[in-house]
Amino acid sequence: MGTTPYSIRLDDELRQSLEREAEIEDRPPAQLAVRAIRSMLNAKAAKRAAVEAALQHADQGEFISAEAMNGWIDSWDTENEVSAPKVDITSDGR
């Protein structure tokens, strides 16, 4: 895969932070910037995929109530931790 030069403007504080981190890691600042951009784009793609999957699941008409979710979350790190909740709301009333 080839590379293409790309110019961006950084405020002084961000540029200094990037250069300081690059010096600590003994890497060129551009390499750290590329890694940061790639990481951000991967995170955004993963979030979009998760939202799309959730929307597709929601289209099936099966949901977990806020009460069930909150009860599960509230049980975390307690002696009475419960299993993840199951569907308790359906669009067809079953």
Q: pLDDT of 32-83, one tens digit each? A: 999 999 999 999 999 999 999 989 988 988 899 999 999 999 999 999 999 9
Q: In this structure, what token pair is assigned to residue 5?
A: 């030069």
Q: How far apart, in Å, are the Cα atoms of 54 and each of 58, 65, 93?
A: 6, 15, 20
**Is there a contact between 43 and 32 (Cβ–Cβ < 8 Å)?**
no
Classified as helix, coil or strand, 62 is: strand
pTM above 0.75, yes or no: no
Q: How high is the pLDDT of residue 1? A: 78
